[in-house]
Structure 1
């Protein structure tokens, strides 16, 4: 039984960490055929699953694992948060059948790189019965230039909501699919309120 696998998926990695839709039972779902922007998250997972299986035919890792993930972004200035990128990747790896469950990942190291010509991610999985991991952190003698980050300004009021006449509460604007005005408290929301779907359109998706 193999205790090692490697997956390389070309293209700019994406994350679904800020996107969620829920069905009538309250379970999180990820539509892939709505014709909307958020379909890309499910399609990306499917792409990962297909490539992971094609690159590792007949391999199933069933034991606890060490994961080394190297993410290569196209741009140094604009890219997803690396700390969130693992969710989409490991959901896709789990769907491939290469692993049983992403809970098998007990140790993980994630590194961020930049490759304008060849954005991608490279994932290596090591079985803990065969491999171990060690690392060290050392103070740099000649301190280099600091990479500084600035706070992100957020709007106080969602762009997807408006104040309706004779109503003091905020209410959603319209369905993202059929574009009809949504009645208060009778819709499905996702992506932190950025995506709004009426219940009729929602039922057609699933």
Structure 2
């Protein structure tokens, strides 16, 4: 059954999966979900989005081009993911649910950032372009608010922890520890993730999926 409107609300602090990605032999980004490690939460969050989406929109399929209005509510103003990266996690979960055919259907999107310590969540509304249009304008404020200032990122290099479980090198710069099993491996024999900060041996990589 085709429709031209849907709304999805997923409770909990929105997270971005861009912080941890693995790539298969075809170069496609994939996420582990059963490694027992912290980064499993990204794949599980995608599954949670898919489940909530289908439960809230049974028998709904949006197959046309869409307008998206996304409202993201974080617990804290100071500590939260980059909102621009949140959209990928959300729309991958929405696509997995079957509500949309492909996230390429989203041709127009407005993202708004809010804060709700007691009820963090995201709220997404999808509108079919055959039935809806969108317009917006920027209005100057009569009474200016205090600006929310952002500091530039630190230029300091990330220091890896000294724990044996970290992906650290030995005296030989080409020898590393697998982040999961902690076995010593050569960099040429491992899978890199998290922008090269994490290394996993091929054996552990196969067991993740």
TM-score category, normalised to shorter length: over 0.9
| Contact 2:170-2:176 within 8 A present in 1 as well | no
* C-alpha separation in 2, matches of 1:148 and 1:76: 11
Distance 1:76 1:196 in 2: 32
1:162 to 158, 163, 169: 169
Give the Cα separation in 1 of the matches to 2:53 and 2:93: 8
* In structure 2, distance between residues paired with 1:147 and 1:86: 22
Shift of 1:163: 5.9
Query: C-alpha displacement at 1:65, in angstroms?
Result: 0.1
Partner of 1:96: 97
Partner of 2:189: 186
Structure 1: unaligned runs, 5 residues or longer: none
State the SS of the aligned residue for 2:192.
strand
- Count of residues in correspondence between the two structures: 202
Shift of 1:140: 1.8
Task: Kindly provide the CA deviation profile for residues 82-110 of structure 1, in whole angstroms up to 9, marking residues without a partner as x.
Answer: 11110000000000000000000000000
TM-score of the pair, normalised by structure 1: 0.92
Q: How does 1:1-206 map to 2 (within 5 A)?
A: 1-156=2-157, 159=160, 160-162=167-169, 164-165=171-172, 170-171=173-174, 173-206=176-209
Q: Is the 8 A contact 2:169 2:177 kept in 1?
A: no
Q: Is the 8 A contact 2:69 2:126 kept in 1?
A: yes
- Deviation at residue 164 of structure 1 after TM alignment: 2.3
Decide whether the 8 Å contact of 1:65 with 1:107 is kept in 2.
Answer: yes
**Unaligned stretches of 5+ in structure 2?**
161-166
Question: Aligned Cα RMSD in Å?
Answer: 1.6
Scaled by the length of structure 2, what TM-score is found? 0.91
TM-aligned CA deviation for residue 162 of structure 1: 3.4
CA contact (8 A) 1:172 1:196 kept: no
Q: Provide closer, same or farther for how the CA distance between residues 198 and 35 of structure 1 changes in structure 2, counting only shifts above 3 A.
A: same
Question: Residue 154 and residue 21 in structure 1: after superposition, are their counterparts in 2 closer, same or farther (change >3 A)?
Answer: farther
Aligned partners of 1:161 and 1:171 also within 8 Å: no
Q: 1:157 to 1:9 in 2, by over 3 A?
A: closer
Q: In the TM superposition, what is the alpha-carbon distance from 1:181 to its structure 2 partner? A: 1.3
What is the CA distance between 1:157 and its match in structure 2?
A: 5.8
Query: Is contact 1:64–1:106 with CA below 8 Å preserved after alignment?
Result: yes
